[in-house]
């Protein structure tokens, strides 16, 4: 589910008078997503998405997220555009929650992406990195080395319930990453959660990127490693080198990776696998039984982490010139 906060038609109609959005004709809650409450609005004009920001999103971060979508869209990236209120503000309030209205993006996310889609995603990620240049607000990545330790501290005591031996394995991994994490790679605005459910396609054509609510400033190649993890493994846990090659080729057709970025890919991929393992582990251990949300399997990301540990050079990801 992703409707945590209910709204009434009267409140919504009153809220919409603050926008130049036409008359409301219908609305419905959207079941997908995990973080915020989303509604599809039909009006006498274009369809719109209404998002109510829930507890895990810091209100102070909202100007970054909304401003970023505006910046990226104005620099040619296909992504939702926040609709300003009549007074110019991007953020309002509805049912006691911070709320924004953004444009509706046509398309569907792919349940079974193929290599040609991975190439498109690589290209779009690089386009986003380029389009993000010059964005004036900064947001440090709260889910990097320090954030991983904080998350781990909350789960460590119960980790062996999920798989015996996890406590030692993850402690060693955190130590390795603290000692070997690259720090001087090209940096900028990253999406940080560009999973298949956040990329829309119309047929084979990528129609846009959504869900910028983990976006932040970090090393750009870290975002590439997130996409390798999210798009280039099969359900049985095997890395698909054809998809990896397509993803990296697509990325490099827009923004070539430097030698240092290529060399860092195995370590970055360990880090990004650990990042999603840790948030999933925390949710796995703390989400009450019966909660109306689908828990994601942390072990999927543990297997990816173990794969990256035995990578010797980035050529093994499918790069031609490494």
Ligand X SMILES: N[C@@H](CCOP(=O)(O)O)C(=O)O
- Minimum CB separation of residue 55 from ligand X in Å reads 14
Of the pair 62, 268, the CB lying nearest ligand ADP is at: 62
Report the alpha-carbon distance of residue 317 to residue 298 in Å, rounded: 22
- Minimum CB separation of residue 311 from ligand ADP in Å reads 30
Of the pair 198, 269, the CB lying nearest ligand ADP is at: 198
| Binding pattern for the stretch 73-112 against ligand ADP, x by CB under 6 A and - elsewhere | -------x---------------------x-xx-------
Of the pair 296, 309, the CB lying nearest ligand ADP is at: 296
Q: What is the DSSP string of 56-79?
A: TS-GGGHHHHHHHHHHHHHTT---
Pick from 41, 66, 210, 305 the residue near ligand ADP by CB under 6 A.
210
- Minimum CB separation of residue 280 from ligand X in Å reads 5
- State the binding partner of 102 from ligand ADP, ligand X, none, CB within 5 to 8 A by kind: ligand ADP
DSSP state, 288? Answer: P
Tell me the residue ranges of DSSP E strands in 62-215.
Answer: 92-94, 97-103, 187-190, 199-202, 205-209
Of the pair 49, 246, the CB lying nearest ligand ADP is at: 49
- State the binding partner of 317 from ligand X, ligand ADP, none, CB within 5 to 8 A by kind: none
**How many CB atoms lie under 10 A from the CB of residue 168?**
11
- State the binding partner of 49 from ligand X, ligand ADP, none, CB within 5 to 8 A by kind: ligand ADP
- State the binding partner of 155 from ligand X, ligand ADP, none, CB within 5 to 8 A by kind: none
Q: Quote the distance between the C-alpha of residue 45 and its chain's center.
A: 29
Report the alpha-carbon distance of residue 250 to residue 263 in Å, rounded: 18
Of the pair 46, 175, the CB lying nearest ligand ADP is at: 46
Report the alpha-carbon distance of residue 294 to residue 309 in Å, rounded: 29
Report the alpha-carbon distance of residue 122 to residue 201 in Å, rounded: 14
Q: Among 117-125, 134-142, 209-217, 297-305, which window interacts with ligand ADP (CB under 6 A)?
A: 209-217
Binding site for ligand X (CB under 6 A): 33-35, 193, 195, 197-198, 211, 276, 279-280, 296
DSSP state, 207? Answer: E
Report the alpha-carbon distance of residue 128 to residue 179 in Å, rounded: 30
Of the pair 197, 249, the CB lying nearest ligand ADP is at: 197
In degrees rounded to 5, what are phi and psi of residue 179?
Answer: -80, -30
CB of 155 closer than 8 Å to CB of 280:
no
Closest CA to 69 of 61, 54, 79: 79
- State the binding partner of 210 from ligand X, ligand ADP, none, CB within 5 to 8 A by kind: ligand ADP
Report the alpha-carbon distance of residue 319 to residue 302 in Å, rounded: 24
- State the binding partner of 70 from ligand X, ligand ADP, none, CB within 5 to 8 A by kind: none
């Amino acid at each position: 589910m992703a409707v945590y906060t209910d709204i009434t038609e009267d409140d919504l109609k009153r809220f919409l008078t603050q926008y130049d959005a036409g008359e409301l004709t219908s609305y419905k809650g959207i079941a997908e997503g995990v973080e915020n409450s989303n509604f599809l609005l039909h009006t006498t004009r274009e369809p719109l998405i209404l998002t109510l920001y829930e507890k895990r999103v810091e209100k102070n971060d909202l100007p970054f997220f909304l401003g970023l979508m505006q910046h990226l869209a104005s620099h040619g990236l296909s992504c939702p555009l926040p609709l300003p209120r009549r007074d110019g503000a991007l953020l309002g309030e509805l049912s006691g929650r911070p709320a924004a209205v953004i444009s509706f993006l046509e398309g569907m996310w792919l349940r079974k992406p193929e290599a040609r889609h991975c190439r498109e995603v690589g290209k779009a990620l690089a386009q986003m990195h380029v389009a993000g240049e010059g964005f004036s607000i900064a947001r440090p990545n709260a889910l990097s080395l320090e954030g991983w330790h904080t998350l781990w501290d909350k789960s460590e005591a119960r980790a062996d319930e999920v798989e015996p031996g996890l406590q030692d394995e993850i402690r060693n991994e955190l130590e390795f990453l603290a000692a070997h994490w690259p720090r001087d790679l090209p940096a900028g605005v990253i999406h940080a959660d560009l999973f298949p459910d956040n990329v829309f396609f119309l047929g084979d054509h990528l129609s846009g990127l959504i869900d910028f609510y983990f976006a932040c400033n970090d090393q750009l190649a870290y975002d590439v490693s997130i996409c390798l993890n999210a798009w280039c493994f099969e359900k049985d846990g095997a890395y698909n080198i054809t998809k990896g090659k397509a993803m990296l080729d697509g990325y490099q057709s827009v923004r070539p990776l430097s030698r240092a970025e290529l060399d860092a890919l195995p370590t970055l991929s360990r880090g990004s696998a650990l990042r999603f393992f840790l948030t999933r582990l925390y949710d796995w251990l703390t989400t009450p039984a019966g909660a109306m949300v689908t828990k994601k399997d942390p072990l999927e990301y543990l297997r990816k982490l173990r794969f990256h540990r035995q990578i010797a050079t980035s050529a093994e990801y499918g790069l031609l010139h490494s």
